[in-house]
């Protein structure tokens, strides 16, 4: 296929409720929506970079700059036989994985639409119900957190993840266990701890957690290896797994026992498929993380989650948890049995509603045309 046009739009959507992590508190999501056009068709992607460089060094503004100045010019007019070929066009551009992922994933959607096949089939799987987990931010009190957990369980979610940070760890976990029983529970630190906190993290062993996600610095596999050796609870790495080589290094060092796959963090579906295959070969479970995506990004996540290595519930929640209305119609919903259906039809199976996109758009530009 020959890329005829690429459109970038900065959107801002208010969240249904504020979301707080160890990085801080957000009440709206600012992101770049991507449309890649060829042969009269359009593929949609969403850049997961935040407005601020806290989760990643990339931001929505830096991603826009890199896409518009370096990545898109390499795509314009290029004959692409498969979305994986884009990484070759971008080989000179180091890093900027979120910017690359937004364009690459839109190209995968476009490719699947040209093939008139669901994206999951093009990725090498087939549609199946996806077990839904939910990520809950830091709350103003333990009681408020537990109330939120109980509400999410009532909505059918199969796994609960709560955000933790120093001073907000043992007490909320203990309260959830006391009031919610043996619900599948994990915690996510977003790199808020250091090696000196090993004792604090070891106290969580007695709560039978599924995993502790990214407790230490994003670029420190060695300290994670030492921490994992001292814990009974599995460590899951998120920010540290930037691609296939990072996954191999982490597993060789014993830095984790579980991997969180986020294509936006890794540079797109191509690297994510490689990480998935590495994990499957080595018997390591993976699950799909979330980045407060709109329905466009959420649909992408669902399709990738159909691959066989995704054996744990991911952070792929219903649209109404975050945005009312979402960009897409119909929205993504959780079924009573705690699963989400993968959208049917070609590509990701959903399209943004034009009026909703216009209402949320701060700025847009068209390239190549």
Cα separation values, 287 from 67, 290, 310, Å: 28, 10, 5
CA dihedral (127, 131, 136, 141) in degrees, to 10, reads 160
d(Cα 35, Cα 13) in Å, to the nearest integer?
18
Contact 75, 6 (CB under 8 A): yes
CB under 8 Å, gap of 24 or more: what pairs does 230-234 form?
230/198, 230/202, 231/201, 231/202, 231/205, 232/205, 233/204, 233/205, 233/209, 234/210, 234/258
- Alpha-carbon dihedral sign for residues 16, 21, 25, 26: negative
User: Are residues 103 and 69 in contact, defined by beta-carbon separation less than 8 angstroms?
Assistant: no
Among candidate residues 2, 100, 163, 165, the one labeled active-site is 163
User: Is there a catalytic annotation at residue 163?
Assistant: yes
Catalytic residue among 69, 100, 161, 262: 262
Find the Cα–Cα–Cα–Cα dihedral 264, 268, 269, 271, rounded to 10°: -110
- State which H helix or E strand residue 71 sits in: none
Residues noted as catalytic: 163, 262
């Amino acid at each position: 296929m020959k890329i005829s046009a690429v459109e970038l739009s900065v959107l801002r959507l208010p969240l249904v409720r504020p979301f707080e992590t160890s990085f801080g508190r957000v009440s709206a999501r600012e992101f770049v929506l991507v449309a890649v056009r060829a042969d009269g068709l359009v593929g949609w992607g969403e850049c997961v970079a935040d407005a601020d460089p806290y989760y990643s060094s990339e931001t929505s503004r830096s991603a826009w700059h890199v896409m518009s100045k370096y990545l898109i010019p390499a795509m314009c007019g290029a004959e692409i036989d498969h979305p994986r070929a884009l990484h070759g066009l971008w080989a000179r551009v180091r890093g900027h994985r979120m910017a690359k992922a937004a364009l690459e994933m839109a190209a995968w959607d476009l490719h699947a639409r040209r093939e008139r096949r669901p994206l999951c089939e093009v990725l090498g799987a087939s549609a199946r119900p996806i077990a839904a987990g939910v990520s809950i931010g830091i709350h103003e009190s333990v009681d408020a957190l537990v109330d939120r957990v109980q509400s999410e369980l009532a909505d059918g979610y199969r796994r609960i993840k709560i955000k933790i940070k120093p001073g907000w760890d043992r007490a909320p976990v203990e309260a959830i266990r006391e009031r919610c029983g043996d619900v599948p529970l994990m915690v996510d630190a977003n790199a808020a701890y250091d090696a000196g906190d090993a004792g604090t993290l070891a106290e969580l062993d007695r709560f039978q957690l599924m995993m502790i996600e990214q407790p230490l610095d994003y670029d420190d596999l060695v300290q994670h290896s030492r921490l994992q050796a001292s814990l009974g609870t599995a460590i899951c790495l998120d920010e540290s797994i930037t691609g296939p080589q990072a996954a191999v290094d982490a597993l060789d060092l014993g830095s984790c026992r579980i991997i969180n796959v986020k294509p936006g963090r890794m540079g797109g579906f191509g690297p994510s498929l490689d990480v998935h295959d590495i994990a499957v070969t080595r018997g390591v479970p993976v699950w799909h993380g979330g980045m407060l995506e709109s329905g466009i990004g959420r649909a992408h996540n669902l399709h990738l989650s159909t691959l066989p290595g995704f054996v744990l519930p991911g952070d792929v929640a219903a649209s109404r948890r975050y945005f009312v209305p979402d960009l897409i119609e119909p929205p993504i919903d959780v079924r009573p049995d705690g699963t989400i259906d993968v959208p049917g039809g070609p590509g990701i199976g959903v399209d943004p509603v034009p009026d909703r996109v216009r209402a949320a758009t701060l700025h847009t530009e068209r390239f190549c045309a």
